[in-house]
Amino acid sequence: MAAKVNVIVFLSVLAFAFAASQTVPIVIWHGMGDSCCNPLSMGSIKKLLEREVKGVYVRSLEIGDGIVEDTENGFLMNANDQISLVCSKLKNDSKLAAGYNSIGFSQGGQFLRAVAQRCPSPPMLNLISVGGQHQGVYGFPKCPGDNATLCNIVRQLLNYGAYVSFVQDHLVQAEYWQDPLNLEEYRKYSVFLADINQEQTVKPSYKENLLKLKNLVLIKFLQDTMVQPRESEWFGFYAPGQTKDILPMNQTKIWTEDRLGLQTLNSSGRLHFLSSDTDHLQFTETWFIENVVNKFLK
């Protein structure tokens, strides 16, 4: 009897170890106004992933020490510094050495794309961008989170001038601000977005590294009232020189000049456009499990 129990225990330990070794870990990066561990947002996503993907290791990125600093850094810590920090955190995490999947929420989407382009090791396998602003934003209609002080700072600095070097160095939202009426300034002074979108010196490694992804999944919220323009979530943006007409991804230079390898990703079936007919980040668990977890994370 005891021997039989032991065999069963042994087999289930083995099965668990096998499942764990087969499961690709997941790194998640929260959005603006949020933090790594809010039980209502990233905390519940982490739990959902752990429940749906048996044995998975989920790391929710914390930028700085504690929730207050992590939230504040989402507004005020230079995006390039955040990405360097995350690259060293990922390198340093032995559980990710064989590769990981990643999910970026809102600005976390473009930040994780920058990680994929700049830091190929450990390898990112699938990248899920949940409402990320890949062509940036032009407008700040709503400020997520509940810290009015931070929101006022952002508005004042954007009014002061998104491309002023002091603002570029310190304000995250200015670093992915694309002003279609001032594209020359954007290309010249944007310290983050213009770089990762190859608007400045073209870096061949950015394209090579992005092409290492198994899949790039872009989720757009069709009723988004936070992101202007919402088409940025699928690499679309305002046509140059005005703020009304939108160019879809395949008419933007990123696509036509194939600056990031999006054409190759698409023709090899690795670029996926998903949408949810809801406001920013307002998806249901069922939608997320069916469209994202079951398709890309198992």
Active site residue 30: no
Catalytic entry in 35, 41, 106, 190:
106
Catalytic entry in 34, 70, 195, 224:
224
- CA–CA separation, 268 vs 214, rounded Å? 10
- Residue 270: exposed, middle, or buried by beta-carbon count in 10 A (0-12, 13-18, 19+)? middle
Contact positions vs ligand NAG (CB under 6 A) = 68, 72, 88-89, 92, 147, 149-150, 248, 250, 266-267
User: Between residues 13 and 222, which has the closer beta carbon with respect to ligand NAG?
Assistant: 222
Closest separation between CB of residue 5 and ligand NAG, Å? 37
- CA–CA separation, 260 vs 262, rounded Å? 6
- CA–CA separation, 121 vs 136, rounded Å? 26
Closest separation between CB of residue 259 and ligand NAG, Å? 15
Q: Are 193 and 104 in contact (CB under 8 A)?
A: no
Q: For residue 214, give the 3-state DSSP assignment.
A: coil
User: Between residues 93 and 279, which has the closer beta carbon with respect to ligand NAG?
Assistant: 93
Active site residue 224: yes
Closest separation between CB of residue 68 and ligand NAG, Å? 5
User: Between residues 53 and 224, which has the closer beta carbon with respect to ligand NAG?
Assistant: 224
Chain centroid to Cα 20, Å, comes to 25
User: Between residues 253 and 298, which has the closer beta carbon with respect to ligand NAG?
Assistant: 253
| Alpha helices in the chain, H assignment, sequence order | 2-22, 42-52, 66-76, 79-91, 107-118, 148-161, 165-170, 172-175, 183-189, 193-196, 204-210, 253-256, 262-267, 285-288, 294-296
- Residue 33: exposed, middle, or buried by beta-carbon count in 10 A (0-12, 13-18, 19+)? buried
Q: For residue 224, give the 3-state DSSP assignment.
A: coil
User: Between residues 53 and 70, which has the closer beta carbon with respect to ligand NAG?
Assistant: 70
Q: Which amino acid is at 230?
A: R
Closest separation between CB of residue 44 and ligand NAG, Å? 20
Active site residue 106: yes
User: Between residues 186 and 237, which has the closer beta carbon with respect to ligand NAG?
Assistant: 237
Closest separation between CB of residue 52 and ligand NAG, Å? 27
Cis check for the bond before 144: say yes or no (omega within 30 of 0): no
Q: Are 218 and 266 in contact (CB under 8 A)?
A: no
Closest separation between CB of residue 191 and ligand NAG, Å? 21
**Which residues are catalytically annotated?**
106, 224, 280
